[in-house]
Structure 1
Amino acid sequence: MASAAFEEIVEDFEFLEDWEERYRHVIEQGKAMDPLEDALKVPATKVDGCASQVWLHPKIGDGVFHFDGESDAMIVNGLIAVLRMLYNDLPVSEVTAVDAKAELARLGLNDHLSAQRSNGLAAMIARIRETAAAAA
């Protein structure tokens, strides 16, 4: 069910020797994203439940789901980039069918994030799913 972009990061992770390299790769993915416009960093796009500041801005057009986002924490920015690879460009009707926990487990993320980061990741996934469900 994962997108081609997500499959690419899964393949990248297979070649990285240890978690530190994977962690750096996630951070680099976040650094490669365009920043979210300040005008989009509003209470409506802010994700509650994250230890850091997180904003997700969905864009749904022609039945296709897409979102941009940003965080003030480098690793969380990287997690946003990973979620974008997982969800962006899927038909909006398929977004809620993605088993994010299982897909992210393929990267080993579940085993290496703090409880706070895991909670924040879950909050981001919940926001994505709610947005897609409302649009479907």
Structure 2
Amino acid sequence: MSALPAAAEQALETFSQPISWEQRARLLMAWGEQLEPLTDDERSEPNRVDGCESLVWLVGHFSEGHWQFRASGDARLIRGLLALLLVRVNGLPADELSTLDLAAWFSQLGLARHLSPSRTNGLQAVLTRMRELTLNAPR
């Protein structure tokens, strides 16, 4: 497994500060505001992730042996969680993406205990969809 991407290191540094949940939630929403918006075409049914209570869309692009994903959701906290997932997975080769431990990542960030089971399941659904895209994509 390679070192964390620079953006993931930055997320770890930011979220590992001893702050309250309210401060962490505001920080999470701020991270979500940094997501590159999806176009109306990208926010379509084929790109919608099943298994999320909120509406979540995911698109992926394979280039030079690595995956780049973009995502959006209809809820501010979800967009923040998606942003943190994306900084962890973007740039990974498919084999590393297939072994990523989502729970460990959000534990490292100090967020796991604040995630409801439905949010955890939704994030897992996004990661599962990413893995499906890597398996089904033409090379």
TM-score w.r.t. the length of structure 2 is 0.89
Determine the structure 2 residue equivalent to 1:40: 42
Equivalence map 1:1-136=2 (5 Å): 1=1, 2-135=4-137
Q: Per-residue deviation at 1:133?
A: 3.3
- 1:16 to 1:132, Cα distance in 2 relative to 1, 3 A: farther
Structure 1 residue runs of 4 or more that deviate by more than 3 Å after TM superposition? 133-136
Aligned AA (2:115): L
Q: Per-residue deviation at 1:4?
A: 2.1
* Deviations 1:71-94 (CA, angstroms, capped at 9, x unpaired): 110011111111110101122332
Aligned AA (1:74): R
Unmatched 5+ residue regions in structure 2? none
Q: Per-residue deviation at 1:38?
A: 0.6
- Identical positions, percent: 38
CA distance in 1 between partners of 2:92 and 2:50 (Å):
24
Query: Do 2:54 and 2:73's aligned partners in 1 also have CA atoms closer than 8 Å?
Result: yes
Query: Do 2:102 and 2:124's aligned partners in 1 also have CA atoms closer than 8 Å?
Result: no
Query: Do 1:60 and 1:92's aligned partners in 2 also have CA atoms closer than 8 Å?
Result: no
* SS of residue matched to 1:60: strand
CA distance in 2 between partners of 1:4 and 1:75 (Å):
22
Give the number of the structure whose residues are more often helix, by fraction. Answer: 1
CA distance in 2 between partners of 1:34 and 1:4 (Å):
18
Aligned AA (1:106): Q
The CA RMSD over aligned residues, in Å, is 1.6
* SS of residue matched to 1:56: strand
